[in-house]
Structure 1
Amino acid sequence: MSAPSPAASAQPLRSALKNDNDGEGSKTPPLSALAKAVHIAEPEPSSHDEASVKKQFPAGIGRRLSGRPPVSTTPSRSSTLSQTPSVEVTSEQELTASPAPIEEPQNTGVASYHRHRIDRVSEKLVAQVAEWLHREKTKKESRKTRKHLSRRKSPSETPEASRPRADSLESESSEVSLDRLQRIIDDSMSALGLKSVPHLGPRLGKKHRKRSSRSLKGAASSDTEFFDGDVLVPSCDASLDNSKTMSYTGGKAGADDNASISSRREEKEKQAWIVFKNEIIRLAHTLRLKGWRRVPLDSGEQISVERLSGALTNAVYVVSPPPESALLPAEGKKTPGKVLLRIYGPQVEHLIDRENELSVLRRLARKKIGPRLLGTFLNGRFEQYLNAAALTSQSMREPDTSRQIAKRMRELHDGVELLDEEKDLGPSVWRNWDKWLAQVEKTVLFLDRQYHDRLNDLARTSSDNWKKRGYVCGVQWPVFKELVRKYRKFLDDQYGDPKKIREKLVFAHNDTQYGNILRVRPDDQKSPLLQPANEHKQLVVIDFEYAGANIPGLEFANHFSEWTYDYHDARYPHACDTSKYPTIDQQRRFIRAYVDHRPRFPYIDSGKSTPATTPTGGVVGSIPTAGSTSSIVDFMLDARVPAGGWKEEERKREEATEKRVKELMEETKLWRTANSAQWVAWGIVQAKIPGLKIAPNGEEDDVTPTEEEETEDDADAFDYLGYTQSRAYFFLGDCVQLGLIKLEELPEETRGRVKLVEF
């Protein structure tokens, strides 16, 4: 018996179309109405003979293993449904149309099988339509919310403006259609014996998630998202006051809340932490951090806020949500995760251009470098939390770790391309100096007068300890400022042409101290980060506040200078210990690892090389290809042997590498003085000076310190003036070695404190 013709197969569908106006009183099965609503024809019954013919065809491997009869090659409802990519509802009439009933085949075995297949496909159809209906209702609700908010924000409406719009009528009609479709789904579930909507297959779910992540409409979510190449991050005009929560203890969740309070000070500290944590929750709600709206407001006692160490310009906290039992119920809503909270330190408005910093973070987000930015507010931001720990002053010196830092530094320098305007502005170390100079000059002149006049011979607070060692910059301000000018001229003379400096500029981090380098701990033991070739990718650099164009040698000088500091030293966290500066061999090991590492980036964006970045275990970074050779000839077995043989070629390469290493080491020593000058200025701007007020006209106003300022002494506060003085001695030592000033020309109290590093 031959297969029915297409005309015959379409007959039931024509019959259904003919009965479009039968209304809701039709007694056809509700599943048939659902199939009609989504434009799917009912199958034509198969005869016993046709089924016999089909059994002669060989089954696939899956069918042979399962023992099931082969599937019909004739178009059927199941095959049509399996090929239907989406669900589409077109009109209200079609929702209530009733197609012709299904006729049962004569052969009971085949009929049973087909009924089983139809039931399975019907369940999938119900799931798909229900999922589509849920999305449509969600969209409609969100549109209503946005319209309601826009009407609240708009001025009072005129009588004309308050009239119903045409789209309101369409919306009501659409809502009726959705309600009828919902009734059809309910009836179909009842007919199939289903108590709940079947689980949707993973393919459609994945496809939907991928589509929704690309179509970014409305406000940005709390994760870094992209729209037309730009990164969208939510922000709000709010501030967090952490002045009373700077300690490294006290922010734990309710475990310590019932502990006995031994003093009034502890009680005040506890209350300050609770207020601080409640404000964090409110801010997380405002910025719509994913999942955090499930955390009840004013439940600060149940969240944990732990301050991390390592950052001087910022206070950094890890914010952990309460347990699941304390969250608000929300079906389908994401469970909140840990986030990193960064609150900018005092005086930083003179130091850091936050708009430029956020612009840099957006560029890094495009390359997927560093943690994601989740939201910003006036004096801080939320970032992605990484399961990582900062390096220590000791671990940074380990040979293997040092090589890994060098590799990551090379990937950053090569992976992020500088803009032409950034190159035109020159090294950012001098841009920072010029930007901070006015504030630094006013402050240092004020401090020089205090020291020179001997108004405070005995240090009343720890912030006055610098006076025991002489001028805060080691010399009077006019002398220090003139030394910086002479040094800059010396640098220009070394290069001869400013264009040569411009050509050497790279995108540099400029603050690679150990607290800004994290080592990620992969949760998955099979993570690619655990492979030897990718081990250096466990290191993630954070805090790009001072990132910008710089010479590679200055980046190295900054990193090597950070070897001389231990910001967690119990007595002298501000002191520079030049005996810890890396030796020649240690410098060579670092720079050699930098030169030997050749990250390979796929070519995107007009032939420019950018890092290939993929998230792995919470970390993202560029992935170089295997091998370090730069020519395809090296992989060709029949390539012509170079003159002198391969050994001669290897010798030339080694000589070229050694030459490059030597150049970078000399460049590092040359720019080390510039690095010290920048951080001297940084320490001055960061310091809180009692009695110094800046008048509205920009001049310093020398006023008598208040009694509160004189007695205020925080033993845990970082000694910025002590840091400045220690850095200044490093700067002066390099100036002496460069011949810019003689040792005997320095003040007597300074000569014995100058830090001379011969290498």
Structure 2
Amino acid sequence: MEITPVNIRESRSRSRSRSRTRNSTANSRSTSSTRRPSLGSKKSLSSSSINKITIIPTQIDNERSIPSVQVFLDNTLPTEFFKQDILALTKTLKISKWHKKQLNIQNLIINRISGALTNSIYKIEYHDSAQNLYLPALLLRVYGRNVDELIDRDNELQILVKLSQKRIGPRLLGIFTNGRFEQFLDGFTTLNKSQIRDEIISQMLGRRMKDLHYKIELDAKDYEKLPTCWYLIEKWLKIIENEYLPGYVQAKIDPKTIFFMNFQDYKSLIFKYKDWLFDKYDELEFSLNYKFCHNDTQYGNLLLHESFKPEDIIVNQGDSDEVNIKSTSNKKDSNLVVIDFEYSGPNFPAFDIVNHFSEWMADYHDPIKSYYINEEKYPTKLQQLNLIKSYIEYDFQYPSSNLKTNKKPQEILNDTSSASRLIQSEIEKLYNECIYWRPSVQIFWSLWGLIQNGPIKSTTEIENGTMEQGIDSTYNITTALDSIHLEDIKDLPVIEDGEAITSSDDDFDYIKYSNQKIALILGDLIQFRLFDKEYINVLDRDLIKYLNTDLFEI
């Protein structure tokens, strides 16, 4: 069953080169309310019609299931209708504490919250002081546009079910076609670009990553495919080549302005790097390195409880052969929560860790250059080792990977006179792996940005107003058995105009963001001796971004 818009069309003309941010939420990664559509007379879902829709349970385990319904929630509706639809969905999905109450939309409070990626995220509250009725807050997630080619929602749901079985992350409460309700984690707020640089919080994150990597089992089929990041990289390369490049050419955009070279040369370079990277591991046991990875450990996906105090977990001032840092305990680690598993799957832990390091360079709240990647903000060697040391020492696993080294694992065991030296060797190995995998992170998000931006239309299409299809004033809910026309339902309120809660279209420049990521890729590959900067236009060479590629001798 699906909900499809019908009737009135509204066209808008604008370039898609500046669209939604990775955050897709208010006050995060650059948002704007200036592009709300002129809605005119619109109708929304109604509780009388939505209650007729069949609920399909999604089983979590033998005792628990999550109600699911094939209904599309339009978060571009004016506030009154959006609230009405939310309440209707809470009843249909039988959300605990909500669905049995007679609720008034005037007492419903909706707040956009920051920290999301390709979604719009809302905190939903109900406060009725007259009746002393205060319902537990809900988190409403509405999936963003232009993400069908980025995210496999069926796979995401399977992962969320697996996490629910392990009691990891917020509880799923109800699922609809383009989103879901989740438990709202009271007292938790998203980290910011400054907090992730805190050495105590960074150590906590190292341990939380280790828990995720080693305590969530992979299925047998997960070992039969490429690492998640490379599976998606290859998929997205095909989409850009087959669907996007023709539009670039038609719009008279030279791909060199994005990739610093022809796309085919760039594609060849990516696969050259892939072969170089994969060759650093035992070919026959390559997939044994896979762990369950989040694959998007940016600070907006990290929540910290407001009661957390760093001094509560500082043990002493420890040291190792390379660094002298504080030692902390894991007794408060539950105060740090990782959310949003849209891109998660089997991958190398080094990808997760260096993805997080790469996010240190971004400031998605910058009012002018939210797309900009500041390479000077990349963590220092000491800051990287601070997290990596915490990761390795916690629930120590040997070997952490089968990265090829100058010595075989047994030789390392024989040569290490103490446990601390063995741990140090694993720290150095993972540090090197993070550098090797760093271009994979930038490739992944550069392609993501281009697809999230959407196809670039020609000037003619823009001038003719055919760039985007507007929304309709009425909706049809259809199933295999019948069709309910909501425009036939009586007594629905209709407003001529009102405040729209939009899907957060904004001025984030995905093209520039991707170009910044590609500048980082080339900087690493030049230093890896996989690419010669002489192939880049002289005027563009100063745009290449270079990060430290010094390695440990292992």
Normalising by the residue count of structure 1, what TM-score does the alignment of the two structures yield? 0.53
User: How far is 1:705 from its partner?
Assistant: 2.1
Structure 2: which amino acid aligns with 1:373?
A: L
The equivalent of 1:494 in structure 2 is 280
Question: How is 1:408-419 mapped onto 2 (pairs within 5 angstroms)?
Answer: 408-419=208-219
Matching residue of 1:290: 96
User: Which residue in 2 is equivalent to 1:546?
Assistant: 343
Counterpart Cα distance in 2 of 1:542 and 1:685: 23
Cα offsets for 1:385-441 (capped at 9, x unmatched): 001100001101100010000010111111111112101113111111122222222
Determine helix, strand or coil for the equivalent of 1:350: coil
Give the conservation status (yes or no) of the 8 Å contact 1:290–1:336.
no
Match of 1:676 in 2: 442
The answer for the alignment partner of 1:239 in structure 2 is 72
User: C-alpha separation between the residues in 2 aligned to 1:282 and 1:739?
Assistant: 59
Relative to 1, partners in 2 of residues 1:535 and 1:343: Cα closer, same or farther, differing over 3 Å?
same
Matched letter for residue 111 of structure 2: E
Q: Which residue identity does 1:662 align to in structure 2? A: E
- Relative contact order: is structure 1 or structure 2 higher (C-alpha 8 Å, sep ≥ 6)? 2
Contact 1:294 1:327 in 2 (8 A): no
Q: In proportion to residue count, which structure has more strand?
A: 2
2:82 corresponds in structure 1 to 276
Determine whether 1:654 maps to 2:420: yes
Go from structure 1 to structure 2 and tell me whether the alpha carbon gap of 1:338 and 1:435 turns closer, same or farther (over 3 Å shift): same
| Counterpart position of 1:349 | 148
Structure-2 residue corresponding to 1:721: 511
**1:359 pairs with 2:158:** yes
Could you say which residue in structure 2 is the equivalent of 1:686?
452
Q: Return the letter of the residue paired with 1:240.
A: L
| Equivalent residue, structure 1, for 2:492 | none
> How far apart, in 2, do the equivalents of 1:735 and 1:599 lie?
32
1:317 and 2:130 equivalent? no
User: What's the offset of the Cα at 1:736?
Assistant: 1.1
Note the 1:614-633 alignment, pairs <5 A.
Answer: none
Equivalent AA in structure 2 for residue 705 of structure 1:
I
Cα 1:446–1:747 shift into 2, 3 Å: farther
SS at match of 2:141: strand
| Paired amino acid for 1:476 | N
- TM superposition score normalised by structure 2: 0.71
Distance 1:385 1:153, change over 3 A: closer
**Quick one: which of 422, 431, 436 aligns to 2:231?**
431
Deviation at 1:325, TM superposition (A): 3.5
1:666 aligns to 2:432 (yes or no): yes
Question: Does structure 2 retain, via aligned residues, the 8 Å contact 1:295–1:326?
Answer: no
Query: Matched residue of 1:339: which SS?
Result: strand
CA distance in 2, matches of 1:586, 1:738: 22
C-alpha distance in 2 between matches for 1:323 and 1:225: 34
Q: Deviation at 1:492? A: 2.9
Q: What are the Cα deviations for residues 183-223 of structure 1, in whole angstroms up to 9, with x where unaligned?
A: xxxxxxxxxxxxxxxxxxxxxxxxxxxxxxxxxxx986xxx
**1:725 to 1:288, Cα distance in 2 relative to 1, 3 A:** same
Give 3-state SS (helix, strand or coil) of 1:409's partner: helix
Secondary structure of 1:325 counterpart: coil
Greater C-alpha Rg:
1
Q: 1:709 and 1:397, CA in 2 relative to 1: closer, same or farther beyond 3 A? A: farther
Distance in 1 (CA, whole Å) between partners of 2:520 and 2:354 is: 12
State yes or no: 1:573 paired with 2:370.
yes
| Equivalence for 2:267 | 481
With over 3 angstroms needed to count, the CA separation of the structure-2 counterparts of 1:751 and 1:757, relative to structure 1, is same
The offset of 1:653, in angstroms, is: 1.0
* Residue 589 (1) aligns with residue 386 (2): yes
AA matched with 2:82: F
Structure 1 pair 718–312 and aligned structure 2 pair: CA distance change class (3 A): farther
Output the amino acid matched with 1:546: Y
Q: In the TM superposition, what whole-angstrom CA distance separates every residue of 1:337-365 from its partner, at most 9, and x where no partner exists?
A: 11000011111111111111010011111
Distance 1:323 1:653, change over 3 A: same
> 1:504 & 1:587 partners in 2: Cα distance?
21
In the aligned structure 1, how far is the partner of 2:547 from the partner of 2:289? 25
Residues 417-566 of structure 1: pairs in structure 2 closer than 5 A? 417-446=217-246, 448-449=248-249, 471-497=257-283, 499-521=284-306, 533-566=330-363
Assess if the C-alpha contact under 8 Å between 2:247 and 2:456 holds in 1. Answer: no
- AA aligned to 2:272 is K
487 and 686 in structure 1: CA distance in 2 versus 1, 3 angstrom threshold: same
Displacement of 1:755 in angstroms is 0.9
